[in-house]
Amino acid sequence: MWKNRRRIVALLGGAATLLLPFLEIRGRSAVRFDLPTLSLHLFGAVVPIDEFYLVLLGALFLVALTLWVTVVFGRLWCGWLCPQTVIGEIGEWIASALPPGCRSGGKSAVLLPFSAVVSLSLLWYIVPPEEATRNLLRSPILLGFFLAQWGVIFIMVAVVGTRFCKTVCPYAMLQNVLTDRETLAVAYDPARPECLRCDRCTLVCPVGIDIRKGSQRECIACAACIDACREVTSRRNVASFISYRGTVLRGKAYLFAGGCLATALVLLAAIWSRPDVRFAVQWEGTAGTPRGNVYRYSVRNDSDR
């Protein structure tokens, strides 16, 4: 079932997000923005904040990657990896194991500590994990950030939920511009009029849409309706009416993939070709100095040595 595959992907993505700050390369975190030095640690490379062109190239790469993923896979990100969806579904998954009388408030009870873990993991991308955990209750700034993130995350996943996906999510609005008929999406087969009208697809949909009415912006491609339809139709030896449809390998996909790859190569080349030592000379002028011209020079070591 797609539900099990989606949960495996979500758990792997969540585990990678939680464990990545603990991965060290050359004695530094694999991915972390170091506040004291205002530099980005990225898999062994150290990028100072004043090297803005690298930040610009990184932003261009993320834009190119987003465009490619959207054109080819549609809203697959929303249903499979988006934290808004994943955290909420994990809460429902754990709450479903509780006794029936406790399930109504069980999701919120599960999401409250889970949101705290997510908030703490976000701090690890700014402050080293050991330091963040040790100083969390000692530093008012760290504690303030932690509590603010905790509150926002809990409200987003436990209170707002999928209403965010249906109304103000900017990625959903981007879909209307970039997707076409060949973009991968969950779709109902209109050529088959013998739908059983059990309405299971509508009941299990997390955003409350009816996939039988055609493509809709609110759909997050989670495939819950596919599993529900397949469960009902399999009992009657009928093929499912709903499935993933689209063409992944096509010209438009190759075009966007090429742009994404080119941007990534330029970014990597710019990072790894940076000089280890920077030497700068600045003329200070001659006024009020008996020695004539005055120059100021600076040497900065950008290497690990």
Ranges of each domain in the chain: 1-50+75-176, 185-245
Token code pair at residue 279: 């030497």
Residue with tokens 């739908």: 195
Its pTM stands at 0.79
Region 75-85: mean pLDDT is 88
Predicted confidence band of residue 260 (pLDDT cuts 50, 70, 90): very high
| Proportion of the chain in helix, strand, coil states, percent, rounded to 5 | 55, 15, 30
Can you read off the two tokens belonging to residue 19?
A: 């464990």
CA–CA gap between residue 102 and residue 100 (Å, rounded):
5
What pLDDT score was predicted for residue 121?
Answer: 92
Residues 6+ apart with CB under 8 A from 100: none
Name the residue with higher pLDDT: 224 or 179. 224
Confidence of residue 94 (pLDDT cuts 50, 70, 90): confident
The tokens of 160 are what? 């707002």
Please report, to the nearest 10 degrees, the dihedral formed by the alpha carbons of residues 11, 73, 20, 161 taken in order. Answer: -60
CB 85 within 8 A of CB 220: yes
Q: Is 199 left (phi over 0), alpha (psi -120 to 50) or beta?
A: left
pLDDT (mean) for 30-42:
82
Q: 33-37, 212-216, 235-239: which range is least confident on average?
A: 33-37
pLDDT of residue 291: 61
Mean pLDDT of 262-291: 76
